[in-house]
């Protein structure tokens, strides 16, 4: 088995990466896939908060050559997801050197042998951490919203991925759109900039509507797909999981 690494990226923070990572991971696990979710927002980890779990393992051990990363994985029965998440607010990871980040990425890549899909919930922007983790990903899902600053930052991010020669792995997802029309318009704006200035056209995977169930699920610290299994945002995430066309 060789799992696909799917990195969830964005230009701006607060566009829904963590919500989307947990929801996508749950959707894939519900399709009987073996899924690992890694909280890669190293300074501001909050997968645990949104999932309502308290991580038991010390993730700083991931940086030790002699520690098998599989021994640090925890399982969440409700969603069926395995996860590697640090406690929120922990600074274990906040300032890793390039060498440490490369070791971390290598360790995570070893886990491909155990999973169908490995999802990285990245931090916003293109820090050293994001570029090292994204470079080991097979797919980079760029999330953005109709908010103009989110669009501008998404373009800046795609541009850096293009310079780093990984833009061919990027696909686009619009989150928090009012409807399909607004989502398509938002995506078009980004695509026009990509085509004009970078001569690339990343595929549009779809959109997740703005849905009050998302906020309610996060407040309840429950994964959306369990909290509101039939809401519009859940359905949209399931559709996107299908359109990823994973083996
Ligand atoms: N589809 C959506 N509909 C409504 N609210 C959303 C949606 N996606 C995200 N949000 C809101 O955006 C906030 C930020 O989401 P989060 O996943 O923490 O973003 P990020 O990880 O990108 O910083 C959430 O607390 C939630 O209230
Ligand atoms: Mg986040």
Among 14, 141, 211, the mutation site with the greatest number of ligand 1 atoms within 8 A of its Cβ is 14
pLDDT tens for each residue of 64-89: 889 999 999 999 999 999 999 876 66
pLDDT tens for each residue of 155-170: 999 999 999 999 999 9
Residue indicated by tokens 């820090």: 127
CA of 103 relative to ligand 2 center, distance in Å:
23
What pLDDT score was predicted for residue 61?
85
**Residue 53: CA count within 13 A, CB half-sphere:** 22
Q: In the chain, what is the straight-line distance between the N-terminal and C-terminal CA atoms, in Å?
A: 10
Q: For atom 27 of ligand 1, which residue has the closest CA? A: 215
| pTM of the model as a whole | 0.96
The ligand with the least distance to the CA atom of 240 is: 1
CA of 193 relative to ligand 2 center, distance in Å:
26
| Vertex 239: Cα angle to 109 and 204 (nearest 5) | 75
Q: What is the mean pLDDT of residues 185-201?
A: 98
What pLDDT score was predicted for residue 174?
98
What pLDDT score was predicted for residue 245?
84
CA of 196 relative to ligand 2 center, distance in Å:
30
Ligand 1 site residues (CB inside 6 A) read 10, 13-19, 175-176, 208, 210-211, 214-215, 218, 233
**Which residues neighbour 207 within 8 Å (Cβ) at sequence distance 6 or greater?**
173, 174, 175, 177, 180, 183, 184, 187, 236
Please, are residues 69 and 107 in contact by the beta-carbon 8 Å criterion? yes
Summary mean pLDDT of the chain: 94
CA of 211 relative to ligand 1 center, distance in Å:
10
State which CATH number among 3.40.1500.10, 3.40.50.300, 3.30.420.40, 3.30.70.890 fits the domain covering 4-243.
3.40.50.300
What pLDDT score was predicted for residue 213?
98
**Residue 166: CA count within 13 A, CB half-sphere:** 22
d(CA 247, CA 241): 12
| Domain layout of the chain by residue ranges | 4-243
Q: Phi and psi (nearest 5°) for 41?
A: -85, 75
What pLDDT score was predicted for residue 89?
64
Burial of 81 (0-12, 13-18, 19+ CB in 10 A): buried
Higher confidence at residue 67 or residue 58? Answer: 67
Among 19, 123, 146, 173, the mutation site with the greatest number of ligand 1 atoms within 8 A of its Cβ is 19
CA of 218 relative to ligand 2 center, distance in Å:
12
pLDDT tens for each residue of 78-124: 999 999 987 666 666 778 889 999 999 999 999 999 999 999 999 99
Beta strands in the chain (DSSP E): 4-10, 35-40, 74-76, 81-84, 117-122, 139-144, 170-177, 204-209
Residue 172 is encoded by which pair of tokens? Answer: 């686009």
pLDDT tens for each residue of 8-49: 999 999 999 999 999 999 999 999 999 999 999 887 778 999
The lowest-confidence range among 4-8, 122-126, 240-244 is: 122-126
Among 8, 26, 144, 214, the mutation site with the greatest number of ligand 1 atoms within 8 A of its Cβ is 214
């Amino acid at each position: 088995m060789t799992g696909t690494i799917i990195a969830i990226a964005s230009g701006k923070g607060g566009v829904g990466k963590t919500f989307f990572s947990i929801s996508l991971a749950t959707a894939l696990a519900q399709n009987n896939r073996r899924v690992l979710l890694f909280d890669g927002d190293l300074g501001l980890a909050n997968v645990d908060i949104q999932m309502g779990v308290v991580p038991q393992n010390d993730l700083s051990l991931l940086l030790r050559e002699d520690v098998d990363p599989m021994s640090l994985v925890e399982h969440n029965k409700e969603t069926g997801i395995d996860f590697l998440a640090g406690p929120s607010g922990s600074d274990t990871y906040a300032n890793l050197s390039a060498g440490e980040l490369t070791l971390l990425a290598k360790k995570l890549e070893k886990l491909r042998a155990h999973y169908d899909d490995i999802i990285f919930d990245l931090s916003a922007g293109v820090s050293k951490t994001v570029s090292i983790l994204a470079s080991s990903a097979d797919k980079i899902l760029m999330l953005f919203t109709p908010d103009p600053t989110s669009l501008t930052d998404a373009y800046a991010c795609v541009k850096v991925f293009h310079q780093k020669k990984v833009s061919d792995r990027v696909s686009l997802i619009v989150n928090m759109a009012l409807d399909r029309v607004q989502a398509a318009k938002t995506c078009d704006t980004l695509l026009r900039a990509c085509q004009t200035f970078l001569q690339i056209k990343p595929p549009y995977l779809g959109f997740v509507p703005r849905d009050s169930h998302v906020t309610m699920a996060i407040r309840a610290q429950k994964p959306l797909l369990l909290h509101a299994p039939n809401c519009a945002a859940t359905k949209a995430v399931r559709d996107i999981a299908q359109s990823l066309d994973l083996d």
